[in-house]
Amino acid sequence: MKNRKVLRISVTDRCNLRCIYCMPEAGVKLCPHEEMLSYEEIEQVAAGALMAGINRFRITGGEPLVRKGLTGLIEKLAALGPEDLALTTNGLLLAQSASALKAAGLKRVTISLDTLKAERFERITRRPGLEQVFSALESSRKAGLTPLKINTVIIRGVNDDEVMDFVRFGQSEGIEVRFIELMPTSGLSPGCKEIGKWDRSLLVSGEEIRKIIEAEFGPLTRSPDEPGVAKIYSTASGATIGLITPVSEKFCAGCQRLRLGPEGKLRICLFERGEIDLRRELRENKADEARLDQIIREALGRKSRWERGDLQEASSEMFRIGG
């Protein structure tokens, strides 16, 4: 079985979009720059993670490309020799940096994209930029940042009519499209986001999405032993899709992700309320890689025993610790 251990590294809580399910239009209180981990500190945590058996890193945000000098961090992490080094991005700044990121050692990218329609893109993200995302996909392909993947959050009454459009788009472009259930990290409107209310009627389950696809493409074939939380399927016509179903189906037992926030807080889950302050360990306790190895091993052990409970009672700021 493939190693499923992943460290998701959020390098910033800043973002150049204001997606309706993630961040209120007015923005949020941001982490001061001096309280964020430096790239050197992130490198040290990653080295400890490798000692603990984690050899897959994913760079997230916020929007990671809004933090200056990100290629320098990629170089540092690539030099550690991980099995996988990937980036999740909204794509707005990717076209101009794809080649440099590849040269620095990045292996692949996943682009978050919830619609293929320009007007709807602006409604969902509250910003223009769909053409920039399409350019990013092409630039990433040319740079060799493959396999390309798209993450798509499906919301009832907002973009659930585009499921088949995304399947066809992914097939024609050779891109794996991953459909993600709307999670109660936020609501649909700024008001819902700010008071933490979540409306379950907006949820389109993974099973419903699968039935929509199978109605046109026929039965989907499951890919075995994928090293992640997504269930990967293929159609008879050659399209590859993923279903990420944190609401309708618990996958805690198969998840081995840890999350490092920009301020140095290590969490065992997006919905776990406890945190381990690695910034304090680094700056005050002068933790070395052996100490970080110990902390991360303990976190992995705790995660193996952890169950999230009722997801509707959970809450999280996805913009701060990555999706």
* The pLDDT of residue 188: 46
* DSSP state at residue 224: S
End-to-end CA distance of the chain: 25
**AA letter at 204:** V
* The pLDDT of residue 197: 58
Q: Which of 239, 246, 235, 172 is nearest to 205 (CA)?
A: 246
d(CA 199, CA 197): 7
pTM: 0.91
* The pLDDT of residue 107: 98
Domains and CATH numbers, the chain: 6-321 (3.20.20.70)
Taken in order 24, 25, 31, 36, the sign of the CA dihedral is: positive
Q: Tens digit of pLDDT for each residue in 222-254?
A: 998 666 788 999 999 999 999 999 888 866 666
d(CA 83, CA 87): 14
Which residue shows structure tokens 């200056």?
68
Radius of gyration for the alpha carbons in the chain, expressed in angstroms and rounded: 19
Q: Tens digit of pLDDT for each residue in 158-174?
A: 999 999 999 999 999 99
Query: Is 259 buried (19+), middle (13-18) or exposed (0-12) by CB count in 10 A?
Result: buried
Q: Which residues in the chain land under pLDDT 50?
A: 1, 187-188, 191-192, 194-195
Q: Which of 130, 85, 78 is nearest to 110 (CA)?
A: 85
* DSSP state at residue 146: -
